[in-house]
Structure 1
Amino acid sequence: MTHHTLPRNLHPETLAVREAVERSQWGEHSEALYLTSSFVQPDCATAARRFANEEAGYTYSRTANPTVASFEQRLAAMEGTECAVGTSTGMGAILLMALTVLKAGDHVVCSQSMFGSTIRLLGGEMVRFGIETSFVAQTDVAAWKAAIRPNTRLLFAETPTNPLTDLCDIEALAGLAHAHGALLAVDNSFASPVLQRPARFGADLIIHSGTKLLDGQGRTMGGAVCGSTAVVDKIMGTFLRSGGLNIAPFNAWVMLKGMETLALRVRAQSAAALELAHWLEAHPNVTRVYYPGLESHPQHALAMRQQNGMGGPVLSFDVLGEGAEQLRANAFHVADSTRVCSITANLGDVKTTITHPASTSHGRLSEDQRRAAGIGQGLLRISVGLEHLDDLKADLSRGLDTLS
């Protein structure tokens, strides 16, 4: 295969379509999809060298695959990191991180506003392996500092958070982590490298659920961890191949194609989300809107500085109501009244989605955990797609205007 070296300092939009386009002898313009479990070797001596990692070459798709390598190289270039490894899902990426940078007796400080599955993994499953996690308020840097112990090895945040769009100051948390000999990991699934590149602010590891914005059309599962060669490739890459957490070549290829339109989609979705957030904020049956692009958001200034001046495609809002039972009923009514929006917990899709976090993405958390994260029964989350905005407003009005 041939691969021409690109000029340095290209913009992310160019990297999204030009980085890691390796061509076979046939000269295909689109990235080739290598659907093969193994690779034929020219002779036994070459096979021996390649299996011993003495010579570059592909042997088995669990250890390396050209399509997966292209996905990893492109994402790393867009994030501005030395390398990346693709995983089967976004949660697989978090599991890979936990099992490679942590050991029994280590301690993690994590945002209490993380995705529900992340909280269950770190706060529940990892306890069996002797790894303890303290959960703190996302926006309170002092709380993060107070939670650090001598055995703290990792600080982990998601920014913006799911579903309340709280931000963390990446640069501040990076300084805090490094001062105490820990790593900072940032889940960048909600923003993508179009909005923010956490490595620029000092983050050591960047997590992606590629199922969301990277794919962008709700077609497949996948994830990734981006970071330094020393940590991500040499440590995580070895475990990834031994443990079989790899992304499938087909899924990597789908995300490669999705990333080509990532910037266009995210910017259009962010612009639509901002207008929809203003509209919701003015609706009499909406009590609060959570969106970093709004000036009413408590971290609006940080969002404009850290997220390239955009709020992103995801927003949440509280509907009017008294008491948990009525709030839940009103939220269900608004969502069930939609005909354009899809009632599904996925996000980052070109199709607008709406979900009730308290009963879906965060439904398995305890009421105390949901309360700590600020997730009430009247909360709805919207991931804005590419439909006409007037149609989305009319779709939400059908339920909002008829609340009792």
Structure 2
Amino acid sequence: MDLSYIINELGEEREQYFGAVAPPIIQSSNFASRTVAEMRYKMRHEEEEYMYTRGNNPTVTILEKKIAALEGAEHAVAFGSGMGAVAAAVLSQVNTGDHVVCVKRPYSWTKNLMRKFLPRFGVKVTMVDGSDMEDFKAAIRPNTRLIYLESPTSFTFELQDLAAVAAIAKEHGCRTIIDNSFASPLYQNPIAFGIDLVVHSCTKYIGGHSDVMGGMVCGTREMVNAIFKSEFMTLGAVMSPHDAWLFIRGLRTLPVRMERVAASTRKVVDYLVQHPKVEEVLFPFLPSHPQHELANRQMRNNAGQFSILLKAKKLEQADRFCDSLKHFLMAASWGGHESLIFPISATYASEGMKSSLPYNLVRFYIGLEDPDYLIRDLAQALAKM
């Protein structure tokens, strides 16, 4: 399917809603049946019928069809947040007594799910670096049911070889899930490498304006419908019709936004790599990065996230650099129009370490501003460090 068709036409039956260019927001919690037989059928096939918006909603369905197509998946189901999607996908694959292998530096709340939540219900988790396939082979046990990936990871941007991990998982009879939010469905499609389920925080690039939250799980129709009938309907982390409409609007500009973000990021990275007050830039698309070849093989382009290690001998120096930036907002998340930083030094309550990451690490997201405008801001902040 053509990208332009998916974004602008797929799922949009305009003749059914007066030829409106923008799809309607079907702001209804309930859908009526004309006969008992029809209601009986809907109750038995709620995964594909409109009965109650906690299950399916026409506006949400349009979004699900588009994201599934962008990921090369058979089907998708939308959630009220990225973490709702992650949790449902993981819970769908494990039972008491099972074992999970997970990359060791995932999104913070995914780490909380793995280290604190799952063990409460008798599911054991082994965290691995994941950049070497031997990490996965060594961690797998007879009761391993799931390998959870995030490639690249959230702060240090290690990659996993998706095709190799998928092969290992199939050899041992376990499933694979990946958080693909970093690359967006435009720049990486894990299902093509053999991964079973793909999750997204739609809050990031898909929304693109930092004004709506949502998540998505993509996979085979059989696997997604199983999640729909169990974790989705039971836990109720659903996406509202209005939020789905905002995500559809965000998709319209996703290709041009991603292209701009990618080009600006490369320019900013090139500036920081040569700066004497920057110790290292963590960015897989640098030729010097140890996984540069893998990044180019798995991803079609870079996204807007990277981290730097400042040449800061004291925590206060890292704080001063971050506080001196005028045009980067200090905030969590990424993927919107605005450029952001997340300083690891903020997780340090004192000189004692509160994070496994060093205080001089700063994560960047490059938005839609002019890159020279951002570089001038970086220059003045580095001068004050």
Taking structure 2 as the reference length, the TM-score comes to: 0.95
Compute the displacement of 1:240 (Å): 0.5
Q: Which residue of 2 aligns with 1:11?
A: 2
Pairwise mapping of residues 53-132 of structure 1 onto structure 2 (< 5 A)?
A: 53=45, 57-132=49-124
Q: Which amino acid aligns with 1:99?
A: L
| Contact 1:100 1:236 (C-alpha < 8 Å) held by counterparts | no
How many angstroms does 1:159 deviate by? Answer: 0.9
Match of 1:380 in 2: 362
**1:356 and 2:343 aligned:** yes
Among 180, 191, 206, the alignment partner of 2:183 is: 191
Q: 1:98 to 1:367 in 2, by over 3 A?
A: farther
TM-superposition CA deviations, 1:107-158 (whole Å, max 9, x none): 0000001111111111111111111110001312101110000000110110
Aligned amino acid, residue 19 of structure 2: G
CA gap of 1:248–1:55, structure 2 versus 1, over 3 A, is: closer
Shift of 1:78: 0.4
Structure 2: how far apart are the matches of 1:53 and 1:258? Answer: 30
User: Which amino acid is 2:268 matched to?
Assistant: L
Number of aligned positions between the proteins: 382
- C-alpha distance 331-11 of structure 1, shift in aligned 2 (>3 A): farther
Q: Compared with structure 1, are the counterparts of its residues 56 and 280 closer, same or farther at alpha carbon in structure 2 (3 Å cutoff)?
A: closer
Aligned to 1:6: none
Q: Whole-Å Cα distance in 2 between the matches of residues 55 and 201 of structure 1?
A: 27
Per-residue CA shift, 1:251-309, capped at 9, x if unaligned? 1111111112112111210111111111001111110001112111111111111111x
State the match for 1:329 in structure 2: 316
* 5+ residue gaps, structure 2: none
Name the stretch that deviates more: 288-297 or 34-43: 34-43
**2:118 maps to 1:136:** no
Q: Which runs of 5+ in 1 are unaligned?
A: 1-9
The correspondence for 2:41, drawn from 41, 49, 52, is 49
Q: Which amino acid aligns with 2:380?
A: R
> How far has the Cα of 1:39 moved from its partner?
1.8
CA deviation vs aligned residue, 1:198-255 (integer Å, no higher than 9, x gap):
0011110101011111101111110011101111113444431232121111111111
Query: Structure 2 CA distance, aligned partners of 1:151 and 1:126?
Result: 15
Match for residue 21 of structure 1?
Answer: 12
Query: Counterparts of 2:30 and 2:226 in 1: how far apart (Å)?
Result: 22
- RMSD of aligned C-alpha atoms? 1.9
Are the aligned partners of 1:97 and 1:236 in contact in 2 as well (CA < 8 Å)? no
Residue-by-residue CA offset, 1:305-336 (whole Å, 9 max, x unaligned): 1111x2211111011122xxx1x322221221
- The correspondence of residues 270-349 of structure 1 with structure 2, limited to 5 A, is 270-308=262-300, 310-322=301-313, 326=314, 328-349=315-336
Displacement of 1:41 in angstroms is: 2.8
Alpha-carbon distance in structure 2 between the residues aligned to 1:237 and 1:296: 47
**TM-score normalised per structure 1:** 0.90
Does 1:393 pair with 2:370? no
